[in-house]
A and B are shown apart, each in its own frame.
Chain A
Amino acid sequence: MSSSQAESQVNASRSSATSLYSTLFSVFRRELRIAFRQQSDMINPILFFLMVVTMMPLGISPQASVLSELAPGLLWVIALLACLLSLDGLFRSDYEDGTLEQCILSTQPLYFIVLAKVMVHWLTTGLPLTLVAPLLGVLLSLPTDGFVPLWLSLMLGTATLSFVGAIGAALTVSLRKGGLLLSLIIMPLYVPVLIFGASTVRYAVEGVAYGSTLAVLGGFFALAFVLAPLAIAGALRMSVEE
């Protein structure tokens, strides 16, 4: 009797765990599909990144000595702005077509649905930015020592930006013109990431150990990964529930 009870309990917990993961994966798959079918949304931030970086030598100075000094900060600032650019639409279409209502009314925890959405957002914006960044580093004559740290710091940094930015996107999703407000809410939260991200690259270029700043970025990411979905889920509920 007790063994069968225990068995049924185990079965119940197993089935809920499976459905939890299947929710996570089904949201993940769906979001990836949508992203790949609306490629303009995906290409936009990269194009912005590319355009601004190529204009920098024209606007400032083509001299390698000047550019290489500015490169770490410039690359980071532009990457951050490109991320910000992509945030506004993160929950917008789901809000407008009613998917968000269904997600909130789901018996699955909103936390995991949101987690999957933000992960896909990073995969389709932050990750491509990170991958092209070293290439653009060449355009800005970033010293070779800076490439690996730039890559690592952007990897951790853009992921953090996606998670933190999603909080702002969730808060402003019910506003028709939430773009400006979104930037105002998010910018102060982005500043620490920018400071540690840019200094990681600068330290590397200057030949100083950059492990500590990278560790701080890693810490930011860990915190954002675990805690931001809670805030995002709460903000989404608030936006939809009026």
Chain B
Amino acid sequence: MVNKSPSHHSLLTFKQVACHRDDRVLFSGLNYTINSGDIVQITGANGIGKTTLLRAIIGLLQDYEGDICWRGQSLDGRVIDKDIDKSANGNTANESTDNESNANENTDKNANKGTGNHRYDFTSELLFIGHLAGVKQSLTPRENLQFLANLHGTTAYSLDQVDDALAQVGLYGYEDMPGHQLSAGQNRRIALARLYLNQATIWVLDEPYTALDTQAIKKLEALFVRHAEQGGCVVFTSHQAPAIQTLRILSLSDYVGDHKGNLDE
């Protein structure tokens, strides 16, 4: 599924995206394009909405304003036309209300084109590893990884492939040890071993460096670079400064504040 020719086309596009928690606006007016081959680090202070943004991307949070598009098609099922594309590229936050009404019109016009299938297409190209990794303490690394990898992909991974991936993250010899006997970092590695077992185009990772040692971080970064070179993209949050040369940084603090005069505090 990963595009072999690195033609750097845009994969994920944010258009005037704003998120809020309760009545508080976290960030607004976010315009950003993630191309194939990009490694994007989302930075910002605690509570600024990094995880919220990731959840909006993967579809676990639908309560956001603006548009998030995957391969040019909105994940809400809306199809975006060129006018909005233009205005979204320049940072014209003031026109956002017009854009929104435009987008609403398009919803009606193209209701038959943009379908829920697009969300499905996106999900099938997505690999998400959250804060909580989905690793069961009572299961062994092998059982955990095999379940998580097969839950998502359409191909079933054999036990050998699973063991290979575990060896890649340095869990060779721990395959049959229940999770509660492993350290926090080792449990984290089980989840990250999924990165070796996937055909996803976009990796969305929430704090992937948590509990990892420097050696493991280096290896993870090399893996990011390899994935990007193959035409995929990586979006992750972290407070550390990774040693990746092609890294793009999306600082959410640039989008905090009174972009639209939403709330007077």
Residues of A within 8 A of B (CB): 15-16, 19, 22-23, 26-27, 30, 33-34, 37-38, 93, 96-99, 101-108, 113, 240-242
Contacts and interface: CB of A to CB of B under 8 A. Distances in A.
Interface of B: 55, 58-63, 120, 123-124, 126, 128, 130-139, 143, 146-148, 150-154, 156, 178
Nearest to B120: A107
Given A34-B139, A241-B61, A105 B152 contact: yes
B188 to A, nearest CB: 12
Contacts of B143: 30, 33
B106 to A, nearest CB: 24
B124 A30 contact: no
A10 B131 CA distance: 39
Contacts of B152: 102, 105-107
A101 B151 CA distance: 11
Contacts of B132: 96-98, 101
B124 A107 contact: yes
B151 A240 contact: no
A23 B151 contact: yes
Contacts of A27: 147
Nearest to A36: B138
Given A26-B147, A33-B139, A107-B124, A101 B63 contact: no
Nearest to A19: B154
A153 to B, nearest CB: 33
A95 B122 CA distance: 23
A42 B146 CA distance: 25
A15 B143 CA distance: 23
Contact of B151 (A34, A96, A106, A242): A106
B60 A26 contact: no
A15 B153 CA distance: 12
B116 to A, nearest CB: 13
